[in-house]
Amino acid sequence: MANPTVVFPEPREVVVEDRERPDPGPDEVLIETNTSLVSTGTELTVLSGDYPEGSNWDDYGEYPFVAGYANVGTVVERGDGVADADTGLDPGTRVATWTPHARFVTAAAADCVVVPDDVSDAQAAPFAIAQIVSNGVRRGRIDWGETVVVYGLGILGQFAVRLSLLAGAETVVGVDLAQSRIDYLPDHPAVVGVDPTATDPQEAVADITDGDMADVTFEVTGNPDVIPEEFATLRDQGRLVLLSSPHGETTLDFHDHVNAPSIEIIGAHMLSHPDTATAQDPWTMARHAELYFSYLRQGRLDVDDLFSHVRSYEDAPALYESLLDDRTEAMAVRLEW
């Protein structure tokens, strides 16, 4: 195959389709993929075709759908203008880009983040998760000594726990219905896992904080029905950060949940990253990726044990089928090329 590419021709169907190898345009580079991360949220939602009618998921769900978003690969060719403006992107340079599951992809040179030599392809693969969560942690304004609750311990939630600790949280409480996901939490004295079917998270947080409750709670379940109970873990004037994309209606008593306790609700979509670094806000997507690589290199962040599935791209149809049937055991999932 010249350029095998993972495609959803229609809902619930996955093929590895041979497509033409792209040519880099002006200010672009051609990249040969080493590994790519599967989104068990967005991609599986599109694959299922099961999303609220009229929501912005309609923008994603046009078939055939080319899957993928987080790619780590090696520059093999530069388009016109790249040699002068981006001399760091020589052929042979490894880069992280938001591009599809395909052997060859093109990306704007300005959007490439160079992967350090001492960071492996596997370690680099969750860079996009790190970017999304770093933005959420920053928007949530976690401060030294605070208590954080993370609802939902998929890969986004796992990163939220780890990056909250790095941001200065004294205690992080991870909440999930699946014990298998709780088991992925880091073995750290400041981290507590809670199964809400066994222990009321509000009571657990009250016990851990001597009644002070949490300063910040992250919504990472994607379930709009869970959101009202998440407020109960917060202290007065605490912050609820919507790190997930909970489509559908959520019913709140705004007096009891928001106004009376003066709770702040913070949206944290990745698109709230600044396009350009400024003195007021230097934390672009590229800067957050670079920070992630720095934590890996310093040994302050370990992601090696977060991969539940590693498969060849040739096995993509079977992999997606299994994840669509049951994703409860999935954490970080990647394809090898």
Model confidence pLDDT, tens digit, residues 87-124: 789 999 999 999 999 999 999 999 999 999 999 999 99
Packing angle, helices 285-298 and 127-139, rounded to 10: 110
Half-sphere exposure of 77 (CA within 13 A, CB side): 13
CA dist., res. 112 & res. 76, Å (int): 13
pTM: 0.95
DSSP state of 58: G
Q: What is the mean pLDDT of the chain?
A: 95
Which of 9-23, 40-54, 64-78, 236-250 has the weakest average pLDDT?
A: 40-54
Q: What's the confidence (pLDDT) of residue 59?
A: 59
**pLDDT higher than threshold 60 for residue 18:** yes
**For residues 203 and 102, what is the distance between their CA atoms, to the nearest angstrom?**
47
- List CB contacts of 239: < 8 A, sequence separation 6 or more: 140, 141, 215, 216, 217, 263, 264, 265, 266
* Token code pair at residue 228: 């009202």
pLDDT above 80 (res 61) = no
For position 328, what pLDDT does the model report? 87
What structural domains and CATH numbers belong to the chain?
4-126+303-336 (3.90.180.10), 129-272 (3.40.50.720)
| pLDDT above 90 (res 245) | no
| Band of pLDDT at residue 291, cut at 50, 70 and 90 | very high
d(CA 7, CA 96): 21
- When pLDDT is averaged across residues 41-69 and rounded to a whole number, the result is 80
Percent share of the chain, pLDDT over 90: 90
